[in-house]
Amino acid sequence: MSTVRNEAARNVPLLINGEFVQSTTSDWIDVTNPVTQEVIGRAPVTTDAEMARAVSAAEETFVTWRHTPVQERMRCLMRYQALLKEHHDELAEILASETGKTMADAKGDVWRGIEVVEHGCSMPTLMMGETTENVARGIDTHSIVHPIGVCAGITPFNFPAMIPLWMFPLAVACGNTFVLKPSEQDPLTPTRLAELWQEAGFPAGTLQVVHGRKPQVDYLLEDPAIKAVSFVGSVPVATHVYRTGTHNLKRVQCMGGAKNHMVVMPDANKEQVVNHLVGASCGAAGQRCMAISVAVLVGEETRGWMDDIRKAVASIRPGPPSDPDAAYGPLISPAAKERVEQLIGTAEPEGAKLLLDGRGHTVDGYPDGNWVGPTLIDDVTPEMTVYKEEIFGPALLVMHVDSLEEAIALVNTNPYGNGTSIFTRSGAAARKYQHETEVGQVGVNIPIPVPAPFFSFTGGKNSFFGDLHAYGKQAIRFYTETRTVISRWPEEDLPSGPNMTISMR
């Protein structure tokens, strides 16, 4: 599919040391509106010299920023939080133009990021250390939480506001400086986030924004000045980032892809289950790492729910952000659409039932959009391609098992471990499920259990590499070091002679 040229499309700037500058590169990446293929911007493939300037600006700024009192850092973040709220609609419009998300969903993307910034405004408390008096006679110990240096963030296309906001506001409020490499597919939203950052009064050099692809990511993974790397994206890239970053002795957290199951017990409320399955699988065109992509129906009785599920999934349709009745938007690119359609195409030949086929979907007035219609695939089994691959499209797979134990075994055998949910009226079943499933986020009668920002966004197995997770208390630990100070201020002279033991006296 060819793109539509647009003379008004602007070249996306880099942010280096407080200045928005045009890259000198000759290599530019088109940013397209996925509803029309219109080119709405061009992201630069940042040159090595510009990468070096960005990292050194962050390094030099760290020298002073780390000494800025935590309350001053917090006040900048409070102004940022206010500006994000003031510009909420505008940010959502930019976001919708480059992702095609519905306006309601685009606003939600921005809002979940604002919530993380709000939580960061309690940084003086979040960064408190600990004290114990008299750990030995006359000896006290306290711990100090301090920043680690220049941090980097590499983010995916599917939440261009929320995911960058998981990272740089917290890292910088901890006293670090930051280099962000957002997705090249939707860099306009992060650029606007960065403009508001400057407007909020953060000093030049606290945040740099560079653009590009693998070489720019690899630059950050190799540069010794970068002390910590936060990554969110697909499993193959997460694996590469984790291996390379840790090989270079950096602290790394990588949130990867997913295949999220919703287990439906026969005692669940059918209407709620049906409604939640539709929204959680096809919302955002299925391009959410927490999308429910597999419904696991337990027991013979729930087979009888398939007709209602089919009707509910068939009742929704995609459309552009300007259509308030559209349930979701297009896929991010023609390549993503082609990939999803190719995966749907493997279902029937491998023995599944294609109850709703979203391939070849059209939307009146938007012939060039990357549309995929709502798709429902029944009788899926673990060896099928549609089950093994993360589809990342508006497709719900259905599997049938006989018992809760079988459902738990299925979820635990799956290599991903991002999110899952159970729908049931039984407290015992819910307790067993949350206790035994090896998945980061568990919802009980909640389809997409994304934690509020004072908890952390976790994940396990191939959906997460590292130990400290995103936002919440764990992010503060990720972006800081702890120093312990052991002190003695004796009122009288200490006994003379060396202490030849390790004990304190």
Positions in the binding site for ligand NAD (CB under 6 A): 154-159, 181, 183-184, 213-214, 217, 232-234, 237, 240, 255-258, 289, 390, 392, 418, 459, 463
Are 477 and 125 a contacting pair, CB within 8 Å?
no
Residue located via tokens 């949130």: 255
Q: For strand 131-136 and strand 139-147, is the pairing parallel, antiparallel, or unpaired?
A: antiparallel
Q: How far is the CB of 293 from ligand NAD (least distance, A)?
A: 10
Cβ neighbours around 358 below 10 Å, total: 25
Type and span of the H or E element at 40: strand 39-44
Chain-centroid distance, C-alpha 368:
28
Q: How far is the CB of 47 from ligand NAD (least distance, A)?
A: 16
Q: Which is nearer to ligand NAD, 183 or 302 (CB)?
A: 183
Q: Which is nearer to ligand NAD, 164 or 175 (CB)?
A: 164
Q: Which is nearer to ligand NAD, 159 or 197 (CB)?
A: 159
Q: How far is the CB of 269 from ligand NAD (least distance, A)?
A: 29
Token pair recorded at residue 338: 């082609």
**How far apart are the C-alpha atoms of 182 and 157, rounded to whole Å?**
8
Q: Which is nearer to ligand NAD, 168 or 392 (CB)?
A: 392
**How far apart are the C-alpha atoms of 331 and 37, rounded to whole Å?**
12
Token pair recorded at residue 256: 């990867």
Token pair recorded at residue 440: 């980061």
Are 179 and 50 a contacting pair, CB within 8 Å?
no
**Is 76 annotated as catalytic?**
no
Q: Which is nearer to ligand NAD, 302 or 458 (CB)?
A: 458
Q: How far is the CB of 183 from ligand NAD (least distance, A)?
A: 4
Measured from each CB, the residue nearest to ligand NAD is 233
Which amino acid is it at 54? A
Sign of CA dihedral 316, 371, 293, 158: negative
Nearest Cα to Cα of residue 151 among 214, 208, 212, 199:
208
Calculate the alpha carbon distances from 165 to 88, 125, 140, 158 in Å: 13, 20, 38, 13
Q: Which is catalytic among the residues 76, 121, 282, 289?
A: 289
Q: How far is the CB of 220 from ligand NAD (least distance, A)?
A: 9
Helix 404-413, helix 427-436: angle, nearest 10 = 20
Output DSSP code: residue 371.
Answer: -
Q: How far is the CB of 145 from ligand NAD (least distance, A)?
A: 25
User: Which strands sit side by side in the sheet containing 260-264, from one edge to the other?
Assistant: 353-356, 375-378, 395-401, 292-298, 260-264, 419-423, 441-444
Q: Which is nearer to ligand NAD, 44 or 175 (CB)?
A: 44
Residue 433 CB-half CA count within 13 A: 28
Q: Which is nearer to ligand NAD, 183 or 189 (CB)?
A: 183
User: Which strands sit side by side in the sheet containing 207-209, from one edge to the other?
Assistant: 19-21, 14-16, 207-209, 177-181, 150-154, 226-232, 251-255, 464-465
Are 419 and 448 a contacting pair, CB within 8 Å?
yes
Are 174 and 479 a contacting pair, CB within 8 Å?
yes
Q: How far is the CB of 163 from ligand NAD (least distance, A)?
A: 6
Q: Which is nearer to ligand NAD, 223 or 378 (CB)?
A: 223
Are 194 and 207 a contacting pair, CB within 8 Å?
yes
Q: How far is the CB of 233 from ligand NAD (least distance, A)?
A: 3
**How far apart are the C-alpha atoms of 295 and 264, rounded to whole Å?**
7
**How far apart are the C-alpha atoms of 362 and 339, rounded to whole Å?**
17
Q: Which is nearer to ligand NAD, 46 or 424 (CB)?
A: 46
Q: How far is the CB of 236 from ligand NAD (least distance, A)?
A: 7
Residues catalogued as catalytic: 289
